[in-house]
């Protein structure tokens, strides 16, 4: 069922998004035809995940061109609208990358932009399959235990990409090879991409999984209940530092202490040679209410404030393997 899941798809006139804010309760789609709607969908995580944001950014240029024709925009207005899409979320390099990838095709008209955006999607889908194979090969060559118990954080599956998934693509590949025992799924507060989205994908495929509190991850690892941790990325700096969902660096530290591999899976479109180090990565700070409320109900005292970074940075020295469609590198020297 999730094998042909498409978080982002062009309908011919609109960008059709799976509304990830209402999963797992409902599978609903949102058709976006204007820039305001796309920016809102990105900032509310209706569409989310670095590669899926890359696709949304690429198609977002087409949306801006079509809206500009409908509304008689001049070039400056269209340029400003495209910039709003590009800057809707700062950390995942793929969003800006998707916009920048198709901009050179604007002179060819909206059909040329759409054709390039389609290539962005096709390339990401192929990349995810390659990541799954390379990642599974690397893990199976280094972790003896069978079947494997994998820990993952946030959602890196078909919902976060053009399909199949990055870290969850490796999980799918291990499952397909018959060597996966279970997956420990960090719920990933505050927006619960793990318990809502990763669990939904795994449940649909009958992959045994256990949702856990983010705070349980270190104990699960240090108690020897997991053999490997596999996570995604939103931006990989030139020195190998990895920006990913908040909580990732804690998983990496526990893996280092426990001596199990910490594997990062990402397409090369998430590598950012223009950013030297992790400290240079803009970490998105989100609304305090996401922390201070649960299901819309305030849980903290009225006087309390919240600190809500959406990402953290794992230093390269803690990354056992970085798996892309080009192969595997071992920043930590494993």
Q: Which residue ranges make up the site for ligand LNRAV4D5 (CB under 6 A)?
A: 45, 48-51, 154, 156, 160-161, 166, 193, 231-232, 234, 244-245, 310
* Dist. CA 22–CA 25, nearest whole Å: 6
Which ranges of the chain does DSSP label H, i.e. alpha helix?
A: 35-43, 50-71, 75-86, 93-102, 110-142, 167-176, 199-204, 217-222, 248-258, 289-292
Burial of 218 (0-12, 13-18, 19+ CB in 10 A): middle
37 or 68: CB nearest ligand LNRAV4D5 = 37
Least distance to ligand LNRAV4D5, CB of residue 112, Å: 27
Of 79 and 308, the one with the shorter C-beta distance to ligand LNRAV4D5 is 308
In the complex, least distance from residue 118 CB atom to ligand LNRAV4D5, rounded to whole angstroms: 19
3-state secondary structure at position 146: coil
Torsion of CA 325, 331, 332, 334, to 10 degrees: 50
Which one of the listed residues 124, 186, 234, 241 is annotated catalytic?
Answer: 234
Q: Is 193 annotated as a binding residue?
A: yes
Q: Closest approach of Cβ 256 to ligand LNRAV4D5, in Å?
A: 19
Q: Which C-beta is closer to ligand LNRAV4D5: that of 86 or that of 105?
A: 86
Q: Whole-number minimum distance, CB 146 to ligand LNRAV4D5, in Å?
A: 27
Structure tokens at 110: 């909206």
Residue 234 annotated as catalytic: yes
DSSP strand pairing (235-237 vs 271-272)? parallel
- Which of residues 106 and 252 has its CB atom nearest to ligand LNRAV4D5 in the complex? 252
- Phi first, then psi, for residue 30 (nearest 5°) are -125, 125
Could you list the residues known to form a binding site for substrate, using ranges: 48-50, 89, 193, 244-245
Residues making up the binding site: 48-50, 89, 193, 244-245
Catalytic residues: 234
């Amino acid at each position: 069922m999730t094998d042909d899941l498409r978080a982002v798809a062009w309908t011919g006139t609109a960008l059709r998004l799976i509304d990830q804010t209402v999963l797992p309760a409902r599978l609903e789609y949102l058709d976006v035809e204007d820039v305001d709607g796309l920016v809102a969908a990105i900032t509310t995580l209706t569409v989310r995940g670095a590669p899926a944001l890359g696709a949304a950014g690429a198609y977002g240029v087409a949306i801006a061109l079509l809206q500009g024709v409908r509304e008689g925009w001049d070039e400056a207005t269209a340029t400003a609208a495209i910039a709003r899409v590009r800057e809707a979320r700062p950390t995942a390099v793929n969003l800006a990358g998707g916009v920048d990838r198709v901009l050179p095709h604007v002179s060819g008209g909206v059909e040329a932009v759409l054709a390039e955006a389609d290539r962005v999607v096709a390339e990401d889908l192929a990349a995810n399959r390659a990541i799954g194979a390379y990642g599974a090969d690397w893990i199976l060559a280094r972790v003896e235990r069978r079947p494997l118990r994998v820990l993952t954080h946030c959602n890196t599956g078909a919902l976060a990409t053009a399909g199949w998934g990055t870290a969850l693509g490796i999980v799918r590949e291990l499952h397909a090879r018959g060597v996966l025992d279970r997956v420990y799924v960090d719920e990933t507060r505050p927006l619960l991409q793990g318990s809502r989205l990763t669990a939904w994908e795994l449940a649909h495929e009958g992959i045994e999984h256990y949702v856990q509190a983010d705070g349980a991850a270190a104990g699960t690892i240090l108690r020897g209940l997991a053999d490997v941790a596999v996570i995604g990325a939103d931006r990989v700096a030139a020195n190998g530092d990895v920006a990913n969902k908040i909580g990732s660096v804690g998983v990496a530290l526990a893996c280092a202490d426990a001596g199990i591999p910490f594997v990062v899976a990402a397409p090369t479109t998430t590598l950012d040679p223009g950013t030297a180090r992790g400290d240079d990565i803009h970490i998105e700070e989100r609304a305090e209410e996401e922390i201070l409320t649960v299901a819309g109900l305030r849980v903290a005292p009225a006087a309390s404030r919240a600190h809500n970074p959406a990402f953290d940075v794992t230093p390269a020295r803690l990354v056992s393997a970085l798996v892309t469609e080009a192969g595997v590198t071992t920043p930590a020297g494993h």
